[in-house]
Structure 1
């Protein structure tokens, strides 16, 4: 049977390319042998469910344990009614166990007891009568909230001292976040801020992204199955663009092999990987959409806005930074500090933020293209200046991130420019004081640097010219744009203060300086 790169739900080893669970979580079998209860948390679609389904199957097949992955998700619609949630959860478990365990390992009975004790009673009865040590992985724990969440956690903590004869030998909670970040108040607006309802955990583990070796292994499986090769440069490019994020690694390969190069005689090259990346960015599939939804959360905005603006982080709680890491939006690089998790997210997040602005802009005539469809930078400059003076200020109100409203409006304009005919790459980082943009359209490469002049600060012109020199040198370009957004108070209207001039950089490059 042919296999495929999976981008929807848990992998099934008979039809999907997969990696061994033990390679990603090598410490689990030791934790289980020691009768530990633990937490596994990682962003969505990093392979948590696949890994734990596979591990449960392997443990059961070994004859040493009865192991099963069970979901709590169906209880989510009853946050204030633990009894109703438990009944829904147990009904779902009945069905799942039929498919995941042989009949001789089923629970002996399904309890009909009081609300707030059904799950604990089932696990206790099952462990007492099981012929093997019982190991249970509880998936989608963060779907529960409020009284239902507290009830489930307390039942697990209450039964813990009775293991292994009277409660599961080992148990894991699996979700996106650690226990302290689970939702407990009305509307999910508060968090536990503590591990106390589940203070029996011995470890909180996270599922790491794929390494370069993992990506090579996964793509090699396709080559062995079909004969279609990934060039070494293509594999490295895919790893760079995704930083090993499992869904992205699979999605970019799926686009390359099934859409762009379905003929297995065609090798997968860097060019095809880049095309696949653009398709993913433009389509913003479910995985990318789910990340984008988070951008409007206040605690996400408090961290993400300064990253995009290149500002230093304000005094935000450590938990809020960890929350973005747990969601997979950011990573902490020892050399660079906090940064966006991978280059694909770097492109997707600004596009999402500028979506409403883009939709609000109306039609713009493409005066920047020649009769042959080539980009003309000076005509593009004139078109942008006209757009900026007329529409810039009103469009600031359409952005969800007011501190970087000018950046978002400019990016929305540039998205119109490259729509269907070019690409945009961005670089930004905390504390850098800038955002760099590189626009590719056919043979034309246009680089620009965005700076902000804030109240109480000096004119960023000199610093911007120095920084732009370094950026242009890396791109091997002789000229570029330096865009300075003046955000000081009590200024003239944008239409009256927008100007352009030519400046010479420290390295002797001719730079177009746009102030507005």
Structure 2
């Protein structure tokens, strides 16, 4: 029985899949190859790049006009800037790939000759020259994980390819495709041999195109999910199909991981006589986030990088980006962490990532929380909003100040501590949803616990700015209207200098929005 794939390239006999060559414009790619172009393919991790390259190799070899070989260069990453070691690894990998995919054993002998006659700085160039001259058809070389290489090793690879470019196709490959996460033009290559960083575009100025492999569209998500129905007879409810799209916006790994968990890991989902429901998809989503599965954990790890923080921190705070370098924005787009939304600018790429980022940042504050008695629960186990308010005020007055120091992003430290507290409240039973955006001036939270839904808006009062109360009441009005609620919380964190201690300035009182909704105003 086939299943949804979350590890490595697809195997058609094992995995539900979309035909890889249908995910890009094959005619345009074949035209580039016919025109002897060198080009790039990039996309975020786990989106199907390797599957597409392997399918392209098989297509070309089956067609017979070219000899195509795929090689993964990640093995050379550990060589760092040791060019001699790296080139032996790269050329050895290409030789092994040629033997595996087209049965050509000659490259191993040619490698030794290339290293002896041309040295490490010309070894790859010599190998490809000899191979092309001895090949009955023009060569197409597909090099994956190129961005695993660094410094002088990457520069050497690019310059050796550029040096042989004019000899194609008789004495150098007809086409070379370089594949990685980032567009090569965005690389800043820091090499010990160079006084200043070199851009990838200048080191490889022979590239004709830079192609980006996109996410699935809504129809493709539906087609993939329905492969499971065709194979097993288990149906997805219309609400479940829609929810997979809404949560992932077609990010390929997320689509597969969500469906795999719902259909193959959750007990109810393994019963093929029962449909895959909206509730199963929500359970799958929540368990993936709580367990910090590898893909999401790698994403969260990026939050530690300064260039990521320069964008994500103001985004979470709802403030403007300020003077952020263009390459920082390009980096987040290439990672697939953010996307450009028409009419909205830069936003988090999909709802699951939007949930993961603040939850990851709140992890340390949550781990730092003291033991808290769940005084917010009624005897029947339901959440009592008034008791929750009293518990939060007591918690904030006693523990807010020291816990702010545990938050990794200083600008949104109060937000993270509050979210850590609310995660303790939900305790795996309820849920906490978040909305935030650049320039919005706020973060919105929606706490759901049994029959209770609580809308919360967070705002910050900073030095030199007016009291955000009026704006907050208007914004909360709209947020509560969207949730169908007639009451909620407005939390204003006073971050102005010279204020009394937290325990002295933390208060609550009742306010009303312009449309008459009842609001508990918390100043903290």
Q: TM-score, normalised by structure 2?
A: 0.95
C-alpha separation in 2, matches of 1:469 and 1:15: 51
Deviation at 1:183, TM superposition (A): 5.1
Note closer, same or farther for the CA distance 1:293–1:13 as it changes in structure 2 (3 Å cut).
same
Alignment-derived partner of residue 6 in structure 1 = 5
Note closer, same or farther for the CA distance 1:514–1:165 as it changes in structure 2 (3 Å cut).
same
C-alpha separation in 2, matches of 1:213 and 1:206: 19
**Would you say 1:465 and 2:473 are equivalent positions?**
yes
Please, which of 240, 245, 255 is the counterpart of residue 246 of structure 2? 240
**Would you say 1:213 and 2:212 are equivalent positions?**
no
Conserved 8 A contact 1:144-1:183: no
Q: How does 1:43-122 map to 2 (within 5 A)?
A: 43-103=44-104, 109-112=110-113, 113=115, 114-122=119-127
C-alpha separation in 1, matches of 2:216 and 2:107: 35
Please, which of 450, 454, 470 is the counterpart of residue 458 of structure 2? 450
Deviation at 1:18, TM superposition (A): 1.5
Deviation at 1:293, TM superposition (A): 1.0
Deviation at 1:364, TM superposition (A): 1.7
**Would you say 1:181 and 2:189 are equivalent positions?**
no
C-alpha separation in 1, matches of 2:425 and 2:135: 65
Deviation at 1:130, TM superposition (A): 1.1
Deviation at 1:510, TM superposition (A): 0.9
Conserved 8 A contact 1:180-1:192: no
C-alpha separation in 2, matches of 1:345 and 1:191: 32
Alignment-derived partner of residue 141 in structure 1 = 146
Task: List, as ranges, runs of 4+ consecutive aligned residues in structure 1 with deviation greater than 4 Å.
Answer: 103-108
Q: How does 1:126-137 map to 2 (within 5 A)?
A: 126-137=131-142
1:454-512 per-position Cα deviation (integer Å, ceiling 9, x unaligned): 11111111111111111111111111000001111111111110010100111111100
Alignment-derived partner of residue 22 in structure 1 = 21
**Would you say 1:226 and 2:226 are equivalent positions?**
no
Any idea what SS the aligned residue of 1:338 has?
Answer: strand
Any idea what SS the aligned residue of 2:509 has?
Answer: strand
1:295-348 per-position Cα deviation (integer Å, ceiling 9, x unaligned): 111111111111101111111111111110111110000121100010000110
Any idea what SS the aligned residue of 2:40 has?
Answer: strand
**Would you say 1:123 and 2:128 are equivalent positions?**
yes
Aligned pairs, how many? Answer: 515
1:177-205 per-position Cα deviation (integer Å, ceiling 9, x unaligned): 111333532699x9533511100111111
Q: How does 1:292-441 map to 2 (within 5 A)?
A: 292-441=300-449
Please, which of 195, 200, 208 is the counterpart of residue 202 of structure 1? 208
Deviation at 1:107, TM superposition (A): 7.8
Conserved 8 A contact 1:145-1:183: no
Any idea what SS the aligned residue of 1:172 has?
Answer: strand
Alignment-derived partner of residue 500 in structure 2 = 492
Any idea what SS the aligned residue of 1:109 has?
Answer: helix
Any idea what SS the aligned residue of 1:482 has?
Answer: strand
Any idea what SS the aligned residue of 2:490 has?
Answer: strand
Note closer, same or farther for the CA distance 1:91–1:108 as it changes in structure 2 (3 Å cut).
closer
Deviation at 1:104, TM superposition (A): 8.2
C-alpha separation in 2, matches of 1:31 and 1:275: 45
C-alpha separation in 2, matches of 1:487 and 1:88: 54
Deviation at 1:40, TM superposition (A): 1.0
Conserved 8 A contact 1:339-1:429: yes
Deviation at 1:110, TM superposition (A): 3.0
C-alpha separation in 2, matches of 1:105 and 1:339: 51
Conserved 8 A contact 2:41-2:179: yes
C-alpha separation in 2, matches of 1:100 and 1:380: 63
Moved more, 73-82 or 241-250: 73-82
C-alpha separation in 2, matches of 1:334 and 1:265: 42
Deviation at 1:80, TM superposition (A): 1.9
Deviation at 1:235, TM superposition (A): 1.6
| Contiguous gaps of at least 5 residues in structure 1 | none
Q: TM-score, normalised by structure 1?
A: 0.96
Any idea what SS the aligned residue of 1:238 has?
Answer: helix
Deviation at 1:105, TM superposition (A): 9.4
